């Protein structure tokens, strides 16, 4: 019992409504040109936004870099060329084309470390958003579906988590778990959690009163089926948008934790910890600090652009809070 | 209105309880107990360990420990730092004005620049000005502020030599601290050179910390203005023949500001998050810097007390913002 319903329009543009009611409506409008598919319609709305396109291209490029880091990076990330410590970038008067973006204080190629860092950053983003989204959607669904004391308990807990500034909460979690890349991911997943819970809960409460849910319930669907198979797909849009924007938060917070020495530990080529470990050379060799930061900025910008574009294309009514 | 205030206050009580639970749990979730941390590498004989555990009250049931913890918190006793042996509450109170000073100016900077930028972008929609403002604000929003702070230091302090690199005031000035706010204290002391020094120390941290709130405020102002500019009463005001600036400032802006004020209020959490990084980079003697040192030196009473106090401040400020919002927008009050 999984009828397409008008409520799925959250995913679609207005023009699609005609195709939604399934068989009957489609026959009635058979002579009209068939409306574009959902995917095409979505893509048209998305592609109108130039910023979103740029963001998507950047994200694709970053994924490519992350996947192919071993082949693309000119050097292994931790290989130390002791005769080339703090070599400036290639375009600098004293630079060498051997190391395009220069080398760090122990002679490691910065470009190679940055490329390998892409892999880490995207991994941190993927894992922490995945944990947070899954857990958040479940908690939100449960809270919004059952209401009552379960709802109150979950939402009060989320309020407590939201009362702490995000970085502070992450630091508190790392203080408990101990510093390190993996613990930083857990910390970030916890920090991001309340946003997903709130979104999922709000969407469930809005959807649960709709007729398609009632009809599904009358047809005998159990609570689990109603929550996950009937309601969840219809609240996917805001969650998808939040997940994309969550990527940028995750990457920023991971870099901040790395910078504070609480995230990835040296010699891991994580951008934030690369920046921190080169701090004392900032005056003599500004490039050791400039490029990792630029990498963070570009990556975060790419995900923000993509997220904004997705939000506008999926649902013009959604606004970033 | 009174009922509204009462309801909102009642709503935050469970949140406060939750925060004390979190802070309490922090100490019990960390690997090893405080006694173990005290004993260091060499370990401790079981008899002395048991005595210390009893002394700290750590051998009592958790519920009893929690109740006594809450009792202590309510009396304002947050324990003492393991490194300085000072009272955590007193240390926080001495350092907090520095953070407030920084956060205040950062927010001021964000509003003073962000608001006009957002209005400009909305009024000149789809022009180069709009694209510039929105592009810059998206960049600002995506900025890793620890890096941004370093770039500012690199350019303004190192390259141009305009501003000092770190600290709150040059070392040669010895100003009696009465309020804890450097700008006020230097003025009260009547020392203009010290005041100028304090001001120049404040500039870069203010910009670094204010950038993200600025971007958020500019975006919010723009979208809120765009919405209001579409309203009938704006069209009516224009049709009456009022000058364009008057329509924008008097008719549109006043209504567009309502959501913006909420957003400004909600920046407090963001500011305190950012303050941790900004203070670390500029060696600003505030609570963010203190907390990071606490985490790095595993000074758990500091971490526990700091988290509790900061959360309490954020909750309180959010409550005040919420009520202000009710004052400006009567529709919320009766919802």
Q: In chain B, pLDDT over 90 holds for what percent of residues?
A: 31
User: Is residue A282 a contact partner of residue B150, using CB atoms and an 8 Å limit?
Assistant: yes
Q: What is the mean pLDDT of residues B138-153?
A: 92
User: Which residue is associated with the tokens 């050179």?
Assistant: B193
User: Is residue A3 a contact partner of residue A11, using CB atoms and an 8 Å limit?
Assistant: no
CA distance B48 to chain A (A): 26
Confidence band, pLDDT 50/70/90 cuts, at residue B172: confident
Contact A304 B141 (CB under 8 A): yes
CA distance A151 to B258: 30
pLDDT in tens, B176-219: 777 888 888 888 888 888 888 888 999 999 999 999 999 999 99
Q: What is the DSSP letter of B286?
A: S
Per-residue pLDDT of chain A (321 residues; tens, 9 = 90+): 344 433 333 434 433 444 444 444 444 455 566 767 777 878 888 888 888 899 999 999 999 999 988 888 888 888 888 887 777 887 877 777 778 888 888 888 889 999 999 999 999 999 999 999 999 999 999 999 888 999 999 998 898 888 888 888 898 888 888 888 999 999 999 999 999 999 999 888 888 888 888 888 889 888 888 888 888 888 888 888 889 989 999 999 999 999 998 888 888 889 999 888 888 888 888 888 899 999 999 999 999 999 988 888 886 554 443
CA distance B316 to B322: 10
Contact B147 A300 (CB under 8 A): no
CA distance A76 to B320: 54
CA-based nearest residue in chain A for residue B314: A163
Confidence band, pLDDT 50/70/90 cuts, at residue B26: confident
Report the interhelical angle of A287-314 vs A236-259 (nearest 10°).
Answer: 170
Q: What confidence score (pLDDT) does residue B98 get?
A: 92
Residue A15, Cβ neighbours under 10 Å: how many? 11
Closest residue to B273, CB basis, from A162, A167, A320? A167
Residue among B19, B144, B145 with most chain A CBs within 10 A, to mutate: B144
CA-based nearest residue in chain A for residue B131: A51
Count Cβ–Cβ pairs < 8 Å, chain A vs chain B: 130
What is the secondary structure of B267-314 as a DSSP string?
HHHHHHHHHHHHHHHHT--SHHHHHHHHHHTT-HHHHHHHHHHHHHHH
CA-based nearest residue in chain A for residue B11: A156
Q: Which residues in chain A touch residue B307, judged by CB atoms under 8 angstroms apart?
A: 164, 168, 172
Helix (H) or strand (E) holding A298: helix A287-314
Q: Which residues in chain B touch residue A279, judged by CB atoms under 8 angstroms apart?
A: 150
Contact A160 B311 (CB under 8 A): yes
CA distance A218 to chain B (A): 32
Q: Which residues in chain A touch residue B280, judged by CB atoms under 8 angstroms apart?
A: 260
Residue B55 predicted with pLDDT over 80 = no
Q: Which residues pair with B87 in a beta bridge?
A: B80
Residue among B155, B266, B273 with most chain A CBs within 10 A, to mutate: B273
Contact A300 B142 (CB under 8 A): yes
Q: What is the pLDDT of chain B when averaged over all its residues?
A: 85
Q: Which residues in chain B touch residue A165, judged by CB atoms under 8 angstroms apart?
A: 269-270, 272-273, 276, 310, 314
How is residue A97 written in tokens? Answer: 């084309």
Contact B22 A166 (CB under 8 A): no
- pTM: predicted TM-score of the whole model, two decimal places: 0.85
Closest CA to B290 of B93, B67, B103: B93
How is residue A164 written in tokens? Answer: 């702490």
Q: Which residues in chain B touch residue A261, judged by CB atoms under 8 angstroms apart?
A: 296
Closest residue to A304, CB basis, from B30, B142, B146? B142
Q: What confidence score (pLDDT) does residue B333 get?
A: 63
User: Is residue B285 a contact partner of residue B95, using CB atoms and an 8 Å limit?
Assistant: yes
Q: Which residues in chain B touch residue A275, judged by CB atoms under 8 angstroms apart?
A: 146-147, 150
User: Is residue B288 a contact partner of residue B261, using CB atoms and an 8 Å limit?
Assistant: no
| Start-to-end Cα distance in chain B | 12
Q: What confidence score (pLDDT) does residue B33 get?
A: 64
CA distance A17 to chain B (A): 26
pLDDT in tens, A74-122: 888 888 888 877 778 878 777 777 788 888 888 888 899 999 999 999 9
How is residue A35 written in tokens? Answer: 């409306």
pLDDT in tens, B270-329: 888 889 999 999 999 999 999 988 888 878 889 889 989 998 888 888 888 878 777 777
Task: Tell me the ipTM for this assembly.
Answer: 0.86
CA distance B143 to chain A (A): 6
User: Is residue A272 a contact partner of residue A257, using CB atoms and an 8 Å limit?
Assistant: yes
Long-range CB contacts (within 8 A, 24+) of B172-180? B173/B197, B173/B198, B179/B97, B180/B94, B180/B96, B180/B97, B180/B98
B121 burial level (CB within 10 Å; 0-12, 13-18, 19+): buried
Question: Cα–Cα–Cα angle for A260, A74, A250, nearest 5°?
Answer: 30
Contact B314 A163 (CB under 8 A): yes
Q: In chain B, pLDDT over 70 holds for what percent of residues?
A: 94
Determine the longest span between alpha carbons in chain A, in angstroms: 77
Contact B22 A160 (CB under 8 A): yes
- Provide φ and ψ at A103, rounded to 5°: -125, 165
CA-based nearest residue in chain A for residue B312: A163
CA distance B53 to B35: 7
Contact B272 A290 (CB under 8 A): no
Q: What confidence score (pLDDT) does residue B112 get?
A: 95
User: Is residue A158 a contact partner of residue A242, using CB atoms and an 8 Å limit?
Assistant: no
Q: What confidence score (pLDDT) does residue A192 get?
A: 93
């Amino acid at each position: 019992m999984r009828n397409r319903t008008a409520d799925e329009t959250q995913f679609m543009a207005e023009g699609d409504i005609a195709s939604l009611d399934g068989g009957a409506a489609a026959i009635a409008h058979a002579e009209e040109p068939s409306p574009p598919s959902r995917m095409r319609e979505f893509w048209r709305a998305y592609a109108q936004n130039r910023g979103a396109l740029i963001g998507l291209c950047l994200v694709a490029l970053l994924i490519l870099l992350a996947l192919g880091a071993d082949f693309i990076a000119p050097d292994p990330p931790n290989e130390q060329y002791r005769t080339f410590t703090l070599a400036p970038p290639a375009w600098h008067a004293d630079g060498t084309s051997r190391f395009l973006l220069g080398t760090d204080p122990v002679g490691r190629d910065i470009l190679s470390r940055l490329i390998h860092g892409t892999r880490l950053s995207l991994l941190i983003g993927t894992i922490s958003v995945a944990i947070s989204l899954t857990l958040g959607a479940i908690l939100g669904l449960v809270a919004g579906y059952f209401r009552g004391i379960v709802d109150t308990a979950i939402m009060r807990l989320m309020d407590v988590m939201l009362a702490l500034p995000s970085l502070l909460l992450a630091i508190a979690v790392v203080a408990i778990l101990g510093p390190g890349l993996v613990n930083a991911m857990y910390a970030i997943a916890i920090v991001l959690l309340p946003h997903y819970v709130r979104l999922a809960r709000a969407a469930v409460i809005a959807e649960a009163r709709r007729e398609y849910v009632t009809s599904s319930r009358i047809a005998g669907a159990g609570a689990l089926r109603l929550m996950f198979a009937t309601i969840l797909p219809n609240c996917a849009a805001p969650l998808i948008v939040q997940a994309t924007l969550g990527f940028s938060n995750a990457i920023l917070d991971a870099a901040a934790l790395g910078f504070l020495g609480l995230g990835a530990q040296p010699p891991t080529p994580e951008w934030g910890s690369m920046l921190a470990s080169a701090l004392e050379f900032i005056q003599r060799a500004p490039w050791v600090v400039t490029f990792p930061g630029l990498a963070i900025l570009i990556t975060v910008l790419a995900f923000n652009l993509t997220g904004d574009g997705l939000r506008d294309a999926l649902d013009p009514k959604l606004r970033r809070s | 209105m009174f009922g509204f205030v009462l309801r909102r206050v009642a709503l935050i009580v469970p949140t406060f309880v939750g925060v004390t639970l979190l802070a309490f749990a922090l100490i019990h979730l960390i690997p090893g107990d405080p006694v173990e941390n005290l004993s260091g590498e060499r370990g401790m004989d079981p008899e002395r360990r048991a005595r210390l555990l009893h002394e700290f009250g750590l051998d009592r049931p958790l519920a009893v420990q929690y109740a006594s913890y809450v009792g202590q918190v309510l009396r304002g006793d947050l324990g003492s730092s393991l490194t300085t042996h000072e009272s955590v509450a007193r240390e926080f109170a001495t350092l907090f004005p520095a953070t407030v000073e920084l956060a205040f100016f950062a927010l001021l900077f964000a509003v003073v620049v962000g608001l006009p930028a957002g209005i400009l972008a909305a009024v000149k929609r789809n022009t180069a000005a709009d694209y510039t403002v929105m592009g810059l604000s998206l960049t600002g929003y995506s900025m890793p502020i620890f890096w941004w702070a370093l770039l500012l230091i690199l350019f303004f302090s190192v390259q141009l030599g305009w501003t000092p690199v770190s600290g709150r005031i040059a070392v040669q000035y010895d100003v009696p601290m009465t309020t804890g706010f450097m700008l006020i204290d230097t003025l009260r002391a009547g020392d203009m050179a010290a005041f100028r020094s304090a001001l120049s120390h404040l500039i870069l941290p203010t910009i670094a910390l204010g950038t993200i709130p600025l971007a958020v405020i500019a975006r919010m102002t723009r979208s809120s203005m765009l919405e209001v500019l579409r309203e009938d009463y704006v069209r009516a005001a224009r049709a009456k023949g009022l000058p364009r600036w008057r329509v924008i400032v008097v008719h549109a802006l006043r209504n567009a500001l309502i959501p913006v004020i909420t957003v400004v209020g909600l920046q407090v959490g963001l500011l305190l998050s950012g303050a941790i990084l900004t203070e670390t980079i500029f060696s600003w003697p505030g609570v963010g810097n203190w907390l990071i040192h606490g985490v790095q030196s595993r000074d758990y009473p500091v971490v526990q007390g700091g988290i509790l106090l900061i959360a309490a401040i954020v909750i309180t400020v959010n409550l005040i913002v919420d009520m202000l919002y009710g004052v400006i927008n009567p529709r919320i009050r009766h919802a």
